[in-house]
Chain A
């Protein structure tokens, strides 16, 4: 994950940890941050701001609130660095904090169960060789699936997002969701099944 923001081009400086110019490992940046190097933490923020905002967005469904929740999540994570277990992966730990922050905000706001999600339609996603008909069909599918996603339970939405939107590994998903690694697959498959059920219901109603 490079952490490049999706909404536009941002030129940024990447901190390196060797003469070869490779980006510093998370663990190195975390350790520096734990020893008071605030800029090292800044690098982690830039690296994961897109991931954190997406995680919050999947929960809140509001872009502005998602960014705010992500920023608060980063702030809380900074002050919790002393409790971060050395050698543990930083990414799922951070996402857990951000997701909690987003959940708390949603709970405090007392919002209804359905979340309105949308995506940028003009952004290329890799499928560049689609015919106009195929592109139209893909767009229709996205709208259809997003509507069904918005009706899923928060936890189901999150497990799908971690797998398909953020491509987390199974181990990272388990860590981010605070569950055993063995249950990640079953949770994902149940979430997909529920998504499909909602989608079928929507399809029938639509037909």
Chain B
């Protein structure tokens, strides 16, 4: 087209085009009514006009923000722990549980190995107590950054060795001060969580699939627990210290063991 279009010609041409644009060749209503009926037959939630492709990134982003907020914000962590009633512990629901797999380092525990609870107490700065029902510990380990005591019971009569940790029971103790540390526990659909009475307080019993732990070190960094995965676990708090008992025992037995803390 060699000539230049004047404004008037351009507008006239555009209007001309509008009059010649294709439209539907038949009544559209029967097809629309069929689509309405089809959509009505669906469950109500699938009638929402939100495309799954649109929703998926939004949901994923929200999940990341929530987890990050919980893991990285001490205030939120503190509030969540208060709601749970157990200082230093957070429990998250996750879509699936991590796979428990024994590793060569399953029996390797971090920290300084000590012989007695008294020695562990001296290093840790709080009174380390042991459940009498488990007998004498096989080993005690004290970590100082953050402060954490791990008491290992290699073989206890009536308690099978954990396929993950390779020992009968583990008791972990630490000061439940959220400013210095906290841990999160990931629980999936194969795990159940029960609040059970213990003495004058409440304990939390997690059973089913193995769990994975996350810790926050004193610098505020989140540290995943990668060396071992726990089996059934009882979490409780007494006198500002949080206790974690990991053993393949029933809820009732776990509570009984916990009640023998000396």
Binary interface encoding of chain A residues 140-158 relative to chain B, with 1 for a CB under 8 A from any of its CBs, else 0 = 1110111001000000000
Residue in A8, A138, A167 whose beta carbon sits within 8 Å of that of B13 in the complex: A138
Residue in A7, A66, A70, A80 whose beta carbon sits within 8 Å of that of B49 in the complex: A80
CB distance B20 to A125 under 8 Å?
Answer: yes
8 A-B Cβ contacts within 8 A? A6-B21, A38-B33, A49-B24, A53-B24, A78-B32, A119-B21, A165-B14, A206-B1
CB distance A78 to B26 under 8 Å?
Answer: no
CB distance B1 to A121 under 8 Å?
Answer: no
Binary interface encoding of chain A residues 170-206 relative to chain B, with 1 for a CB under 8 A from any of its CBs, else 0 = 0000000000000000000000100110011011001
Interface bin, chain B: 20 to 34
Q: Does A169 contact B (CB under 8 A)?
A: no
A63–B24 alpha-carbon span in the complex (Å): 8
Q: Does A59 contact B (CB under 8 A)?
A: no
Q: Which residues from chain A contact B32 at a C-beta distance below 8 Å?
A: 42, 45, 71, 74-75, 78
Residue in A53, A78, A141 whose beta carbon sits within 8 Å of that of B9 in the complex: A141
**A164-B36 contact given A63-B22, A71-B31, A74-B28, CB 8 Å threshold:** no
Nearest chain-A residue to B53 (Cβ)? A108
**Interface of chain A, main secondary structure:** helix
A46–B19 alpha-carbon span in the complex (Å): 18
Interface bin, chain A: 35 or more
A79–B49 alpha-carbon span in the complex (Å): 9
Q: Does B105 contact A (CB under 8 A)?
A: no
CB distance B1 to A141 under 8 Å?
Answer: yes
Q: Which residues from chain A contact B14 at a C-beta distance below 8 Å?
A: 145, 160, 164-165
Residue in B17, B19, B36 whose beta carbon sits within 8 Å of that of A75 in the complex: B36
Known: A5-B26, A123-B19. 16 other contacts (CB 8 A): A5-B27, A7-B24, A8-B25, A38-B33, A46-B27, A49-B28, A49-B29, A66-B22, A71-B31, A74-B32, A125-B19, A140-B1, A142-B16, A142-B20, A196-B10, A203-B2
Q: Does B23 contact A (CB under 8 A)?
A: yes
Residue in B21, B27, B49 whose beta carbon sits within 8 Å of that of A54 in the complex: B21
CB distance B22 to A7 under 8 Å?
Answer: yes
A120–B17 alpha-carbon span in the complex (Å): 9
CB distance A10 to B15 under 8 Å?
Answer: no
Binary interface encoding of chain B residues 20-56 relative to chain A, with 1 for a CB under 8 A from any of its CBs, else 0 = 1111111111011101100100000001010100000
Q: Which residues from chain B contact A121 at a C-beta distance below 8 Å?
A: 20
CB distance A207 to B2 under 8 Å?
Answer: yes
CB distance B13 to A145 under 8 Å?
Answer: yes
CB distance B1 to A144 under 8 Å?
Answer: yes
CB distance A142 to B17 under 8 Å?
Answer: yes
